[in-house]
Amino acid sequence: MSLKNLLRAVLGNYLFKRALRAFGIIVAASTITFFIIRLMPSNPIEIFINQMMSAYGMSYEDAKAMALALFTIDLDKPLHEQYFEYVTNIIRGNLGTSISISPGTPVMNVVTAFLPWTLFSVSISLFSSFLLGITLGMIAAYRRGGIFDRVVSTVAAVTSAIPGYLLGILIVVFIGVRFGLINYMRGAYSAGLTPGFNLPFIVDVFLHLAAPFTTYVLSTWGGWMLSMKANTVAVLGEDYVTVARAKGLPEGRIRTQYVGRNAMLPLFTSLAISLGFIFGGSTLIENVFVYRGVGRLLWSSINARDYTVMQAVFLIITISVVVSNFLADLIYSLIDPRVRVGG
Amino acid sequence: MIELETKGTLTVNEPVISIDNLTVEYVSPRGVIKAVRGVSLKVYRGETLFIVGESGSGKSTLGLAMLNIVPRPGRIAGGSITYHIDGRNVNILDLPLEDQRAFRWKNVAMVFQSALNSLNPVLRIWDQMYDTIESHDKHISREEVYEKVRRLLYLVRLDPDRVLKAYPHQLSGGMRQRVMIALALLLDPKVLILDEPTTALDLLTQKSIMEVLKNIKKELGLTMIFITHDLSLAAELADRVAVMYAGKLVELGDVYDIFYRPRHPYTFALMKTVPKLTSIDEELYPIPGSPPDMANLPPGCKFHPRCPYATRACSDVEPSEEWLTPSHLVACHRHRDLSLRVEAR
Ligand SMILES: Nc1ncnc2c1ncn2[C@@H]1O[C@H](COP(=O)(O)OP(=O)(O)OP(=O)(O)O)[C@@H](O)[C@H]1O
Ligand SMILES: [Mg+2]
């Protein structure tokens, strides 16, 4: 009994240590981003002034007056004071207000307007890609050397070598333009519709998802497929698989419990790590399709040098990556008995 | 120390397996490797047959072929393996896949050479026992399975409560080997094949596994086929011994014939590699030369490059198998004119 308690204490301690380290990484990463963001050339006010001047032909003075009236930020404060303010605000749960993308709106509101779309599109794409990859990878491994294997492996290697945004552009050009579907390749839903839980809107959302989904899946399934194939080939050569056949187990049981489980183990770690990117979205793909996601928000906030929004997005990405790495370890220790901490 | 314990010849000569002209090959980048080249062999009910020979001579491949589970890139290129069980003659190579599946382990089970990697790392021992029985008998209850598994684990001297909950990596090599032996006995197979059951283990564990195996032989009376380098194990347990060289049987006979009256120069050389206890500093005679390259076998008798008695004929023509007595088979051109003498030990 006391051994069990001791074990629990050690395990608790281990988790505590891990959590502490994760917290440290988040603090360090967000501090670094805070300063790097401000080291970037130009600043939100200058960019705004330039935009006003070039878009509306305003004079520099007029544009500057307008900027000062609109923006509440004081960029002349010393950096360390700004940082101190940022930290105290965060501790209070306050991410500040957007500087230039949507002046005065709380950053939290800006982010929550974009985040669900990224969560929705990337999680569907990620799981589809993963399932497609491991299924085809396993089939290819079982038929290694055959036509199926050769075709699928080649296609996988080629598609994963092409950058995602390029695939996106190809889709826009060859499918969107050619078949007149370009309207479904802009944004997350059609301009005229009001979001709500009704059939026309939901159908519209999925039609808009099709292109970014295809792009994302095309550019990532190959990686899953090729590693699943390699793992499966390796596992198929293991003695316990021959033993399973000798034992007279049904083929289905061998495929799932003996081959599949062992071949998938290493992939779960990568999957858990990829989960982190569900929150970050893919900037390039979201940009090609003008999709309302976090990746696109990041892009526009960088262009406008909207410091507070950038900070918030980087913070979200950092937290989700750190947390998902943590989860990856945890999941791995749950599914692989060899790395389990306790009995 | 060689000391023959078993009482050689069997009275009932009723075969349980007839292997006929079996050929197994591996397709490798270096060419086709014929690991088993036309082996014909009968295994008799209740006997303990040893298959011995140097590394690479095709012993494990022969064992795997008996269950028709030679893994890729290997394939059975010819011959037949007929089981005579329950009054039926079944060539396992001809059975439909589903019947093969049902046939394996129930009739013939095997403890693999690599027992340490024979267990699925992500399943508990209990699950790997249970799925085996369940695949052959859908209606059996968990209690019946547990009772059976428990009995077998006691037989191999393991503590069921401790072992069944464990994952393979939590068990020592010796324990895993015992688990594999218990697993092989789970469906009361008629034939049990044991591929190097003691080689990967330390001396002490080897001894206790050997005790377990002797005990099994005594208690269960099943047909056992041992595949091994370990001639002292053969001396203790074998009824008959088959000697393989380069994928072929070169000699087959009861344990006395093989140990005391070998007629093939290779068997003779093999016997001289066994240490004797009579004098400690006596020389050991390793077999000169090295085992043949299986991808590139010499012409004629495959042993002739290493044989001190080789003649022209030996390098030209591969000798055919000849029965010297109804139970003693040899494949050597010179078996008539050689007198190979092994001193009594
Ligand atoms: N998977 C494989 N691919 C190619 N060749 C193989 C394969 N497995 C075995 N062989 C070849 O087949 C021959 C016989 O191998 P096998 O394992 O049956 O020998 P063995 O007598 O059991 O040897 P050992 O005593 O080392 O276990 C060897 O020459 C080996 O190189
Ligand atoms: Mg072997």
pLDDT, residue A74, reads 67
For residue A55, count other CB atoms closer than 10 A to its CB: 9
pLDDT, residue B2, reads 47
Assess whether pLDDT exceeds 50 at residue A241: yes
Give the span between the Cα atoms of A120 and A281, in whole angstroms: 10
Task: Find residue B228's DSSP bridge partners.
Answer: B52
pLDDT band at B195 (very low <50, low <70, confident <90, very high): very high
Condensed to tens digits (0 to 9), the pLDDT of residues A250-296 reads 999 999 999 999 999 889 888 888 887 777 777 888 888 888 888 88
CA angle A214, A219, A221 (to 5 degrees): 90
Q: Please tell me the residue having the least CA distance from ligand 1 atom 30.
A: B56
| Rounded average pLDDT over B29-50 | 91
pLDDT, residue A198, reads 82
> Residue A239: closest CA among chain B residues belongs to which residue?
B118
Least confident of B111-120, B269-278, B280-289: B280-289
pLDDT, residue B21, reads 94
Condensed to tens digits (0 to 9), the pLDDT of residues B135-162 reads 998 888 999 999 999 999 988 889 999 9
For residue B164, the surrounding DSSP H or E stretch is: helix B160-164
Q: What percent of chain B has pLDDT over 70?
A: 92
Which of A242, A247, A265 is opposite residue B71, by nearest beta carbon? A242
- Are the beta carbons of B309 and B268 closer than 8 angstroms? no
Q: Inform me whether the C-beta atom of residue A265 falls under 8 Å from chain B C-beta atoms.
A: yes
Residue bearing tokens 């080997």: B177
Distinct helix (H) and strand (E) counts, chain B: 11, 12
Give the span between the Cα atoms of B259 and B276, in whole angstroms: 13
Assess whether pLDDT exceeds 90 at residue B70: yes
Cis peptide before B73, with omega less than 30 degrees from 0? yes
> Looking at CA atoms only, how far is residue A162 from chain B in angstroms?
33
The verdict on a CB contact (< 8 Å) between A237 and B104 is: no
Least confident of A123-132, A215-224, A326-335: A326-335
Ligand 1 atom closest to the Cα of residue B63 is 18
Instruction: Name every residue whose Cβ is closer than 8 Å to that of residue A261 and which is 6 or more positions away in sequence.
Output: B122
Ligand 1 atom closest to the Cα of residue B61 is 18
Higher pLDDT, A28 or B207: A28
Q: Decide whether any atom of ligand 1 lies within 6 Å of the B11 Cβ.
A: no
pLDDT, residue B28, reads 84
Q: Inform me whether the C-beta atom of residue B29 falls under 8 Å from chain A C-beta atoms.
A: no
Q: Decide whether any atom of ligand 1 lies within 6 Å of the B28 Cβ.
A: yes
pLDDT averaged over every residue in chain B: 86
Q: Inform me whether the C-beta atom of residue B122 falls under 8 Å from chain A C-beta atoms.
A: yes
**Closest to B118 measured CA to CA, from B54, B162, B69, B189:** B69
Which residues in chain A have their CB less than 8 angstroms from residue B114's CB? 239
Condensed to tens digits (0 to 9), the pLDDT of residues A8-62 reads 766 666 777 778 888 899 999 989 999 888 888 888 888 888 888 888 888 888 8
Which residues in chain A have their CB less than 8 angstroms from residue B119's CB? 240, 243
pLDDT, residue A133, reads 95
pLDDT averaged over every residue in chain A: 85
Q: Inform me whether the C-beta atom of residue B112 falls under 8 Å from chain A C-beta atoms.
A: yes
Q: Decide whether any atom of ligand 1 lies within 6 Å of the B299 Cβ.
A: no
Give the span between the Cα atoms of B83 and B85, in whole angstroms: 6
Give the span between the Cα atoms of B53 and B247, in whole angstroms: 10
**Closest to B34 measured CA to CA, from B69, B67, B65:** B65
pLDDT, residue A12, reads 66
Residue bearing tokens 């059939």: A199
Higher pLDDT, A122 or A70: A122
Which of A238, A246, A265 is opposite residue B104, by nearest beta carbon? A246
Residue bearing tokens 């089970």: B109
Assess whether pLDDT exceeds 70 at residue A182: yes
| Rounded average pLDDT over B56-64 | 94
pLDDT, residue A340, reads 59
Which backbone phi and psi does A237 adopt, to 5 degrees?
A: -85, -5
pLDDT band at A1 (very low <50, low <70, confident <90, very high): low
**Secondary structure letter of residue A190 according to DSSP:** -
Q: Please tell me the residue having the least CA distance from ligand 1 atom 17.
A: B60
The runs of H, that is alpha helices, within chain A are 2-39, 44-56, 60-70, 79-91, 107-142, 147-161, 164-171, 199-236, 239-246, 251-253, 261-275, 283-288, 294-303, 307-335
Q: What percent of chain A has pLDDT over 90?
A: 24
pLDDT, residue B4, reads 53
Least confident of A60-74, A137-151, A218-232, B259-273: A60-74
Assess whether pLDDT exceeds 50 at residue A343: no
The pTM is what?
0.83
CA-to-CA dists, residue A167 to A160, B141, B172, angstroms = 10, 56, 52
Interface test with A, best of B118, B134, B180 (most A CBs within 10 A): B118
Q: Inform me whether the C-beta atom of residue A257 falls under 8 Å from chain B C-beta atoms.
A: yes
pLDDT band at A342 (very low <50, low <70, confident <90, very high): very low
The verdict on a CB contact (< 8 Å) between A250 and B101 is: yes
> Looking at CA atoms only, how far is residue A265 from chain B in angstroms?
10
Assess whether pLDDT exceeds 50 at residue B253: yes
**Closest to B199 measured CA to CA, from B159, B172, B233, B225:** B233
Give the span between the Cα atoms of B129 and B143, in whole angstroms: 13
Give the span between the Cα atoms of B250 and B265, in whole angstroms: 9
Which of A245, A248, A258 is opposite residue B102, by nearest beta carbon? A248
| Rounded average pLDDT over B98-110 | 93
Assess whether pLDDT exceeds 60 at residue B10: no
Assess whether pLDDT exceeds 80 at residue A125: yes
pLDDT, residue B284, reads 57
pLDDT band at B77 (very low <50, low <70, confident <90, very high): very high
Give the span between the Cα atoms of B170 and B303, in whole angstroms: 44
Which residues in chain A have their CB less than 8 angstroms from residue B124's CB? 337
Grouping H, G, I as helix, E, B as strand and the rest as coil, residue B228 is strand
pLDDT, residue B343, reads 62
Q: Decide whether any atom of ligand 1 lies within 6 Å of the B56 Cβ.
A: yes
Assess whether pLDDT exceeds 80 at residue B190: yes
pLDDT, residue B12, reads 56
- Are the beta carbons of B340 and B270 closer than 8 angstroms? no
| First CA to last CA distance, chain A | 13
Give the span between the Cα atoms of B93 and B101, in whole angstroms: 12
Give the span between the Cα atoms of B339 and B324, in whole angstroms: 14
CA-to-CA dists, residue B71 to A165, A247, B61, B63, B127, angstroms = 44, 14, 9, 12, 24
Instruction: Name every residue whose Cβ is closer than 8 Å to that of residue A287 and which is 6 or more positions away in sequence.
Output: A165, A295, A296, A299
**B53 Cα: distance to centroid of ligand 1 (angstroms):** 12
Condensed to tens digits (0 to 9), the pLDDT of residues B290-336 reads 888 888 888 889 998 888 888 888 888 899 898 988 889 999 988 88
Condensed to tens digits (0 to 9), the pLDDT of residues A66-121 reads 877 777 666 777 888 888 888 888 888 888 888 878 877 888 888 888 888 888 88
Task: Find residue B224's DSSP bridge partners.
Answer: B48, B192
Instruction: Name every residue whose Cβ is closer than 8 Å to that of residue A1 and which is 6 or more positions away in sequence.
Output: none
- Are the beta carbons of B9 and B254 closer than 8 angstroms? yes
Which residues in chain B have their CB less than 8 angstroms from residue A258's CB? 120
**A7 Cα: distance to centroid of ligand 2 (angstroms):** 42
Least confident of A191-200, B146-155, B229-238: A191-200
